[in-house]
Structure 1
Amino acid sequence: MDQSESPDGLITDDDFAQTVRTWLAENLTGDFARLEGKGGPGSEHEFFEERLAWDRHLAAAGWTCLGWPAEYGGRGATLAQQVTFHQEYAKSGAPARVSHVGEELLGPTLIAFGTEEQKRRFLPGIKTVTELWAQGYSEPGAGSDLANVATTARLEGGRWVINGQKVWTSLAHVAQWAFVLCRTEPGSKRHHGLSFLLVPLDQPGVTVRPIQQLTGTSEFNEVFFDDAVTDVDLVVGEPGDGWRVAMGLLTFERGVSTLGQQIGFARELQGIVDLARANGAASDPHIREKIARAWVGLRVMRAHAMRTLDAVDAGTSGPEASVAKLLWANWHRDLGQLAMDVQGAASLLAPTGPSSDIADPEHLELDEWQRLFLFTRADTIYGGSNEIQRNIISERVLGLPREARP
């Protein structure tokens, strides 16, 4: 296939891109057509069942798990093809996927660290989108600093018995399973004595409680484990080796799908530019400067993403992913502020109507720019906070002294 580089610096695979483009154009029709642009960050509640049907439609046509080896149900796609797919998918306006955690995070982790039995049991359900997954990492006292995990699991009667609490668990209310980082060696500290367990959520010992956020929606949750159980063989890697597995998963989290994310960012930026032209804000030199900075920042982000993916492909990846998280999180947060600046005083007004009673935030209707502003306040926190990413860069790249830890 003919691989080349597009004017914006992204890898393209021309034949493959045309195949993806044609399939999306032919299938984003009928009932699926109304899903365009739906379900992104802060809007995961939109058309959930319809987007689940769309994901299963993708699976039936062989468009899920592209990078997985063929022996595990994937297409064995090259890195260039994976990047191309995510780019074309984003450009088409196709809806946000509901199976990201299983397909992009757990699947590659099982392929890398799981037993053959675990792969046979779980990979088919991920590929066909018949089993959805949630990520049980963060806790009230262990957000970005996962080494402080306090949730425990003990072996009893041939099963793991789990007690503790996870928080900010995205889509746990619709998932059937979660991978849960637990402390399995009593008295262990920091990254020692942790295990990576696969836990069914539909059982008496699990309580999922939605958390309402600024946007009025509740796509993430608290999850409580009170003597919840899972089978003894559902530990990925060896017991006590959970830190290595968990860090391996985070490498997959910041993989090729980030290129599609950036195309979504570009669409948001263009929408703000169009708004500025329409309402006259583009005549303000300060607004023009902020738009120009956003445009440059997006190009820097893309260039760094390509460098990071090259390192991953060569097996030499390091702290580049932490730099990438800092770049996109701060850029996107600032884009939300730019949207408010362009709107001016109008950005402070909630849309009027019967479902926009500010006293009832669960039913408060926000426009797309208000939702963008409110949701992006969290971008610098979830997925690894700015503080943690800067510590990683300072210690592992710059060689500065480690921060004091208890």
Structure 2
Amino acid sequence: MTDTDGSRALRAEIRGWFEQVLAAEVCLDRVPGCALTEEQDFAERRRYAGVLTRDGWAGLAWPREWGGRGGGYRERLVFAEEAARADAPDPLNRLGVDIIGPAIDVLCTDEQKRRFLPPILRGEAIWCQGFSEPGAGSDLSALSTRAERVPGGWRINGQKVWTSFGQYADCCVVLARTDPTVRPHAGISAFAVPMDAPGVEERPIRQMTGGSDFCEVFLTDVHVADADLLGAEGDGWKFAMTALGFERSINFLARQVRLTRNVSDLVVQIRANATRVPSRAKERVVGIHARAMALQAVVEANMAALDAGGVPGVETNASKVFWSETYQGMTDLGAELELTVPGFGDGLGAAWTSSYLAGRATTIYAGTSEIQRNIIAERGLGLPR
């Protein structure tokens, strides 16, 4: 991003902060050349969330009334760029800060904002999303989890899957069907469900990378109060679309910045092994680099639009598809070179191969590329169904 005088000063302040706190207070478990265990990774991300909150960086673009700094999204972009430069971890509560919190701020009552937003920003409440189900992935309107009115609140029964960080979360936004008599999109409501409520069970899902960031969540006669209904009854679809809009814009921002950094790392490694890397691989990395730069320009424009009062639109769906496929192209090439060029990767172990395995999910989570293209065609281009 091209800096103004103000963003240049902010960048220097952020860079100095990372130099002061990251190694001393956050990355205490890191050993060069060794991957962190899940427990170490969780502890590191928890520490990082704590120092972000303590020093006022957690809510850079959040309103001051909820504990934020009241800055703009372009300032948030500067922070993301410096975090990538410093190789900082993802904060454990990023879903709450970048996706769920902003959706609550847009759609919920003042009482709910006062109740939920400050603990999210302080890192006291880790949130997860209970959206996808075994029979309802990108087609959320097919969900079967149900919520029935009972005295004093609601009783929820159902199952969620691919719930990120469910085993660590304190609260979950659960989408549930509250009215089966209306069209599918209109009969869904959103609830704030404490993860320690009786009847909630989470089961981590082991992935092919060896990690278990995702969970299955089972809800059996889980009781929540009327005050836990997020927005109005029947507004669950609106809440989900608003949250997903923020996921593909604000939360996506950090992913785009990391992609740019990863592509730069791949270019450096190819240059360092220039005599042994095939010409076709060099040609491929040029195309990947061009895509990453184009995506960076689009994200900067999206952040400027948000700062001007806009809301995430269909352009974020297009950015998500472009990012997913660029990321996979990068990890495909990195893993291929890691496996075929001896010593490629500069002693980083199987970093590209691991990224390749993790990258298979990028065209699936947050809406599959097929669903995204349908949305772009129908809502963005006005094409017939």
Normalising by structure 2, we get a TM-score of 0.91
1:5 is matched with: 2
Q: How does 1:174-323 map to 2 (within 5 A)?
A: 174-280=168-274, 283-314=277-308, 315=310, 317-323=312-318
Contact 2:25 / 2:47 at 8 angstroms: preserved in 1? no
Q: How does 1:101-116 map to 2 (within 5 A)?
A: 101-116=95-110
1:375 lines up with 2:358 in the alignment: yes
Structure with the larger helix share: 2
Q: SS of the counterpart of 2:249?
A: coil
Please state how far the C-alpha of 1:79 moved relative to its aligned partner.
2.5
1:327 lines up with 2:322 in the alignment: yes
The 1-side partners of 2:6 and 2:332 are apart by: 32
Contact 2:257 / 2:296 at 8 angstroms: preserved in 1? no
Q: Alpha carbon RMSD of aligned pairs, Å?
A: 2.5
Distance 1:281 1:195, change over 3 A: farther
Q: SS of the counterpart of 1:141?
A: coil
2:382 is matched with: 399
1:318 partner amino acid: G
Please state how far the C-alpha of 1:264 moved relative to its aligned partner.
1.7
Deviates more, 1:66-75 or 1:373-382: 66-75
Structure 2 runs not aligned, ≥5 long? 343-348
The 1-side partners of 2:227 and 2:216 are apart by: 26
The 2-side partners of 1:220 and 1:161 are apart by: 25
2:86 partner amino acid: S
Structure 1 runs not aligned, ≥5 long? 348-365
Please state how far the C-alpha of 1:124 moved relative to its aligned partner.
1.9
2:166 is matched with: 172
Selected match of 2:369 from 386, 392, 395: 386
Number of aligned residue pairs: give it: 376
Please state how far the C-alpha of 1:255 moved relative to its aligned partner.
2.5
Q: Residue deviations 1:65-87, cap 9 Å, x none?
A: 12111111111112222221222
Contact 1:319 / 1:396 at 8 angstroms: preserved in 2? yes
Q: Percent identical across equivalent pairs?
A: 37
Q: Residue deviations 1:99-120, cap 9 Å, x none?
A: 1111111111111111122122
2:187 partner amino acid: G
Selected match of 1:336 from 319, 331, 340: 331
Selected match of 2:117 from 109, 119, 123: 123
The 1-side partners of 2:259 and 2:377 are apart by: 28
Contact 2:127 / 2:170 at 8 angstroms: preserved in 1? yes
Contact 1:11 / 1:84 at 8 angstroms: preserved in 2? no
The 2-side partners of 1:227 and 1:202 are apart by: 13
The 2-side partners of 1:129 and 1:317 are apart by: 25
Contact 1:208 / 1:222 at 8 angstroms: preserved in 2? yes
2:215 partner amino acid: N
2:374 partner amino acid: N
Normalising by structure 1, we get a TM-score of 0.86
The 1-side partners of 2:46 and 2:282 are apart by: 40
